Every structure is written in structure tokens, then in C-alpha cells.
Chain A
Amino acid sequence: MDLLTFMQQMVNGFSLGSMYALIAIGYTMVYGVLRLINFAHGDIMMVGAFLAYAFISIFNLPFAFAVLLSVVISALVGILTDKIAYKPLREAPRISLLITAIGISFFLENAFTVFAGGIPRPFPVPEYMQNIFNVSGIIFSTSSIMVPIVTLVLLLAILFVLYKTKYGMAIRALSFDIKTVNLMGIDANKIISIVFALGSALAAVGGIFWVINYPSVEPMMGVLVGLKAFAAAVVGGIGSVTGAVLGGFIIGFTEVVVVAFFPDLAGYKDAFAFVFLIFVLLFKPTGIMGKDLEKSRF
């Protein structure tokens, strides 16, 4: 194996890892405030990609505008799922929340299958995203440069919101104790809506990047990616945004590198994230950067 292939795989892993990271941030934030594995999060990613597809190929909107619009609408969908399905269950045992989340996930998948059809559709990737650069033998596409950059910018933005703004302080307070936060005069439901909006917007960005790299849209696309991103969030330490990004990169790199150097294992590609997850949990049950959030259980 030469350095060139190695560098090439690094580029690919970086790009894939960024997409997992973007989706993992949403998981980790929702888990941080509600202690809920939002199973519907992967499907929000699918919704984002689908909306972008619809705006571009049906309504002929320009790419950038379509992306912006679908990100905003996805954020609204995220808030809506919280208001409809999770808010009435705030005081309920956490298992009820989890089951509802699975229900929402299946609802989104099947509703899109019914009304948009289950057949994968080609995603219209704009010309300028398909440019290929060759830097001394390593092949870059526009998206493989853009994805990590946008991810890092968004990560910094999220960290800024979390640690430098009033809302961020409320979010962090919420992750300690939801009841006390209400007593302090903060509207917990509003803050939770903000968390869902931020997470869903990032998931939509991740979904659009995903279909730029693998240009086909279908209702079930969010399932596996979402689960791997969740595995990434747990590996990194759930509840920690930096941990989620780290976990996303680890899972992405593992997948790319193992497949590149052990082609025999390519068929098992989708299982790596989970095997890795089980190993990490065996040695560090809270993930790499995680705190013990498991004190209250359902």
C-alpha cells in the first residue's frame, strides 16, 4: 500500500465521516436534553434530501435556494415531531418516548413511500459540485472538499451557540435538570424546540451532502445512515457535541479504510459501526468523551 492510496482513502474517510458527524450532532443534542434516542432523526435527514430533490427537479429552484429552503423546512419538521409526539410524554417513562420515536420514524418512512414512491430517484447534482481536482495524484471532488469545511464551520457555529449565547447556556442547563430549569424562569419547551430545530437543520445538511455524494433519493435512505450516525454519537460519548463529531470521523474512517485495505470485508461494511460500538461500550460504557448520563433510567 503506497502513500498515495492512503492519502486518497483519508480524503474519502474525511468526507464520509463529516456526514456522519453532522447527523450525529443532532442525536447527541436531543439525547443531551431529553435523554431520548431520536430514532426519527435519520428520517429527518431523508426529509431534507427529499425536499431538496423536490425543490430542484419539480419546482426548478436554484440549488442554493432549494438547499436553504429544505433545511429550514426540515428544522420545522423537527420542531413539529417534538410538539406532536414527544411533548405530551415529557413526564412519561422514557421507554414510551423511545417507542414513540420509533413510531415517528416508521411514519415518516412509510408516508414518503406512499406519496413519493419507494423507487430510488436520481438526485440532480449541480455541475459545479461535480468538478474533479487532481492534487499530485490525489483526487478531490468539489463536494469532498466542501463537506468537511461546511461540517467544521457548522460545528464551530454550534459550539458558539452552546457556549457563548444565552440560549446555549439554557440548553446546557436543561441537560442537567429539566425541572430546575423550569423553576429558573426558562421556558424549557422553547429551548427543546431550538435543540430540535438545530439538530434537524444539521441532519438536513448532512442528508443533502449524502445525496450529492451518492446521488439517489429514496424513503429508506435515512435508516442505516441514521443508525450509524447514532453509533458514532455513542462512540464519541453521547451528550457531547465534540464527541459526536469525533465519533463520526472515527466511524467514517473505519468504514472507508477497512473496505479499502481488506476488500474481502466490503460486504460487512454496514456492520462495522455496530461492532465498533459494542467494543467501545465494553471498555468505556459512556463513550470516548461521554459523561454518565445514565443515572436516571426508564
Chain B
Amino acid sequence: MFTKDRLINLSIILLAIWFTWFAQNHFEEYTVRIINNVAIFIILAVSYNLINGVTGQFSLEPNGFVAVGAYVTAILTVDANGMLYQYDIEDPYPWILALQTNFFWALIFSGIISSLLALSLSFPVFRVRGDYLAIVTLGFGFIIRILAINSPEITNGSLGINDIPQASNLYWTGGFAIVAVLVILNIIYSKYGRAMKAVRDDEDAAIAMGVNTFKIKTLAFTTSAFFEGIGGGLLAALLTSISPDLFTFLLTFQLLIIIVLGGLGSTTGAILGTIFVMAGLEWMRFLDEPMNIFGYETDGLPGMRMVVFSLLLIIVMLFAREGLMGKKELKDLFKKKKVDK
């Protein structure tokens, strides 16, 4: 019952729970906010990694699903008065006003609606493979954003929804991060996870071995959409205001850097990547500000962070293609001479 692996896992989970509690009660507000962000991005990165790294389907869609989740949570948690007050372009539909739940159910609904969308989308999307898949899913992200801008009765158009109750705290974000990591790890180590890896390594061979690749891809796609939706909801409740501009391709790009840096296909890598990238982005804020280099005063260069970041991505791709973890998980590090399956 208590094997070494399980004890390690259990202690990691307990440590994560303790850290969540400790951070929420003892850290400064600014630090807590960054940790909240990290926790949300862990959810997003780990679920994006499931479709992109584990199943090997290079899709560029998470900004779409995150947007859907964020809007669903926003609509479900802002009360009718607040909505009537801030919907300036068009009045909201009556049924939009009637929809009200508490935060937990709002998050669950965000996840469910995202994954239903993913399910219906998988029929056209998985007819194509490889590069075509990348461009179709990229187009999907665009379409979601354009729909959000052009449906002011539901989303308040380009103004976005403000005054969302700030319900996210570390218990929510950290809790969902732990749940997401556990669920996704369990999927990866189940027979479905092995089928996903088979699809990644050689799709034709997987078909020949009797794997229903469409089913497996759809499973990975809907699961990752579910958690991306929840992540979006948590993000909306953390930022308290959302607009279509938040969910551009930049979001997908950030997640892509995270999972590539961590090692495509490794959940541990996705978590480490999130911590490095989010902490790095915070730390590199000095690049955007005026600097003193060897006595020369430079003006502030807003955007320098992103230049450095894209260079970082290129350098990782050129010189350390496997990222931090390669395809290995945490527990593979403790084993010796055992090849990654």
C-alpha cells in the first residue's frame, strides 16, 4: 500500500497544500498575486502540455479556451445589476442576466463549456494533421476573439466585462492547480496516456496497433480544454476585468515557451517551466525601465522583455531542444538506467 512512489507523491501533495496555506497567510500581497498567477499558469501549461507535448498534436488554441472559460465565469458571477450597469454597447440578453451561480459552479461550468466546445471542434480539427492542425487551431483562437468582440449582448464587446468579484485566492488557484496536475498525471499513466504517447511517437503505427487515434486525440483535447476553461475562470476572478485583448496569440505564445522550456511532454517540466518563466517575466521588468549601463543612461524600452523572451525561446530551441526535463517526469529522476517509456 505505501510504496516508495506513493509516499513521495503524498509528501509532495501535502507540501503543496501546506505551501498554499502558508503563502496565503504570511506572504505580502504582491508575492501572493504572483503565486496566484503561477498557479493559474501551471493549470494552463500542464493541460496545454497534455495535447501538445504528450499527444504530440501541435495545436495553438489555448487562448480560445481560456477566453471561453474567463467569459463564462465572468457572466456567471457578475450579478444582474452590475451587468446592466456596465453593458454600454448593447443591453445584455435577458437569459444572460438570469444566469447566476457561485464561484465554484461558475468554474466547473467554464470547464464544461470549454470541453464541450473542444469536443465539437475535434470533428473538423482532427481531420487534418501536423502543420495544418496548428494553423486551424490558431484560426480558432482568432475566431473566438472576433466573436467576443462582435457579440456585445453577451460579452460587452471590446469593452470587456469589469467588476468581476475577486474570488480567486491561493486556496482556489492552488487547489485547482493540484487537482489539475493530479488528474493529468493520472491520465498520462493510464492506458489512455500510453495511447497518447503512441500517437505522438508514430501515429500510423498507433493506428496499426489498433489505437483509435481520433478518440485518443479528442480525449486529450477535451481534458485540456476543461482545465484551460477553469484556468480562464480563475484568471478572470483574479484580474477582475477581462477584455478580448487579453486573449490574443500572446497568451498561447507564453504557454508555448513555458512547455518548450520545461520539456515538451513532461508535466514536471511544465510546472518548472511555469515557475521559471513567470518568475523570469517578473524579474525582467527592469528591462522595460530606464537603465544605467556602464554610466550611460538609456531610456525605458517598453517591450524589451518580450524581445529577450523570444530570443530565449529561439536559443532554447537551437541549443537545448529537450528543455529542462526532456520527456522525463519527476519520478524518472530517481530511477537509474531506466529508459523513459
Chain B residues within an 8 Å CB radius of A89:
317-318
Chain B residues within an 8 Å CB radius of A157:
none
Interface locus among A53-61, A98-106, A144-152, A247-255 = A98-106
- B150 an interface residue at 8 Å Cβ cutoff? yes
- B135 an interface residue at 8 Å Cβ cutoff? yes
Interface locus among A135-143, A166-174, A267-275 = A267-275
Interface locus among A2-10, A67-75, A206-214, A276-284 = A276-284
Chain B residues within an 8 Å CB radius of A216:
none
Which of B132, B256, B260, B311: most chain A CB closer than 10 A? B132
- Residue pair A96, B132 in contact (C-beta under 8 Å): no
- B117 an interface residue at 8 Å Cβ cutoff? no
Interface locus among B26-34, B122-130, B164-172, B332-340 = B122-130
- B310 an interface residue at 8 Å Cβ cutoff? yes
Chain A interface residue count: which class?
35 or more
- Given the interface pairs A88-B318, A89-B318, the reply to whether A294 lies near B129 with Cβ below 8 Å is yes
- A118 an interface residue at 8 Å Cβ cutoff? yes
CA distance in complex: A298, B134 (Å): 12
Chain B residues within an 8 Å CB radius of A114:
301-304, 307
- Given the interface pairs A96-B317, A103-B317, A298-B58, the reply to whether A113 lies near B303 with Cβ below 8 Å is yes
- The digit string for B236-258, where 1 denotes a CB below 8 A from any CB of A, is 00000000000001000100100
Selected from A94, A99, A275, the residue in CB contact (under 8 A) with B260 is A99
CA distance in complex: A85, B321 (Å): 13
- B23 an interface residue at 8 Å Cβ cutoff? no
Chain A residues within an 8 Å CB radius of B147:
268, 271
Chain A residues within an 8 Å CB radius of B301:
114
Selected from A103, A234, A281, the residue in CB contact (under 8 A) with B310 is A103
Selected from B127, B134, B149, the residue in CB contact (under 8 A) with A282 is B127
Chain B residues within an 8 Å CB radius of A37:
131, 134-135
Q: Which residue of A lies closest to B144 (CB)?
A: A271
- Residue pair A281, B132 in contact (C-beta under 8 Å): yes
- Residue pair B124, A281 in contact (C-beta under 8 Å): yes
- Residue pair A85, B139 in contact (C-beta under 8 Å): no
- A230 an interface residue at 8 Å Cβ cutoff? yes
CA distance in complex: A111, B127 (Å): 37
Q: Which residue of B lies closest to A93 (CB)?
A: B321
- Given the interface pairs A35-B131, A114-B302, the reply to whether A103 lies near B136 with Cβ below 8 Å is no
- Given the interface pairs A98-B58, A100-B314, A107-B314, the reply to whether A277 lies near B321 with Cβ below 8 Å is no
Chain A residues within an 8 Å CB radius of B260:
99
- Given the interface pairs A110-B307, A234-B132, A271-B146, the reply to whether A99 lies near B139 with Cβ below 8 Å is no
Chain B residues within an 8 Å CB radius of A36:
131
- Chain A nearest CB: distance from B249 CB in Å? 8
CA distance in complex: A171, B9 (Å): 54
Q: Which residue of B lies closest to A31 (CB)?
A: B131
Chain A residues within an 8 Å CB radius of B56:
95, 298
- A231 an interface residue at 8 Å Cβ cutoff? yes
Main secondary structure of the interface of A (DSSP, over half): helix
- Residue pair B256, A99 in contact (C-beta under 8 Å): yes
- Chain B nearest CB: distance from A105 CB in Å? 8
Chain A residues within an 8 Å CB radius of B249:
223
Selected from B138, B150, B317, the residue in CB contact (under 8 A) with A100 is B317
Chain B residues within an 8 Å CB radius of A102:
253, 256, 313
Chain A 114-133 interface residues, beta-carbon cutoff 8 Å to B: 114, 118
Chain A residues within an 8 Å CB radius of B138:
227
CA distance in complex: A94, B58 (Å): 10
- The digit string for A75-91, where 1 denotes a CB below 8 A from any CB of B, is 00000000001001100
Q: Which residue of A lies closest to B123 (CB)?
A: A282
- B207 an interface residue at 8 Å Cβ cutoff? no
Q: Which residue of A lies closest to B307 (CB)?
A: A110
- The digit string for B304-341, where 1 denotes a CB below 8 A from any CB of A, is 10110111011001100100000000000000000000
- Given the interface pairs A104-B314, A107-B311, A281-B128, the reply to whether A231 lies near B139 with Cβ below 8 Å is yes
- Residue pair B318, A271 in contact (C-beta under 8 Å): no
- A154 an interface residue at 8 Å Cβ cutoff? no
- A153 an interface residue at 8 Å Cβ cutoff? no
Which of B129, B131, B264, B313: most chain A CB closer than 10 A? B131
- Residue pair A297, B256 in contact (C-beta under 8 Å): no
- B143 an interface residue at 8 Å Cβ cutoff? yes
- B48 an interface residue at 8 Å Cβ cutoff? no
Chain B residues within an 8 Å CB radius of A260:
none
Chain B residues within an 8 Å CB radius of A104:
310, 314
- B79 an interface residue at 8 Å Cβ cutoff? no
Chain B residues within an 8 Å CB radius of A100:
313-314, 317-318
Chain A residues within an 8 Å CB radius of B139:
227, 231, 273-275, 277-278
CA distance in complex: A100, B58 (Å): 13
- Residue pair A285, B321 in contact (C-beta under 8 Å): no
- Chain B nearest CB: distance from A201 CB in Å? 23
- B140 an interface residue at 8 Å Cβ cutoff? yes
CA distance in complex: A95, B203 (Å): 15
CA distance in complex: A147, B304 (Å): 36
- Residue pair A230, B135 in contact (C-beta under 8 Å): yes
Given contacts A99-B317, A103-B314, A227-B135, 19 further A-B contacts (CB under 8 A): A37-B134, A88-B318, A89-B317, A98-B131, A99-B256, A99-B260, A102-B313, A103-B317, A104-B314, A106-B310, A110-B307, A113-B303, A113-B306, A231-B139, A273-B139, A274-B136, A285-B127, A297-B129, A298-B58
A-B contact pairs, 20 of them (CB 8 A): A31-B131, A37-B134, A94-B130, A96-B321, A98-B131, A99-B313, A99-B317, A100-B313, A102-B313, A106-B310, A107-B311, A110-B306, A110-B307, A113-B306, A114-B304, A234-B132, A267-B146, A274-B140, A278-B124, A298-B58
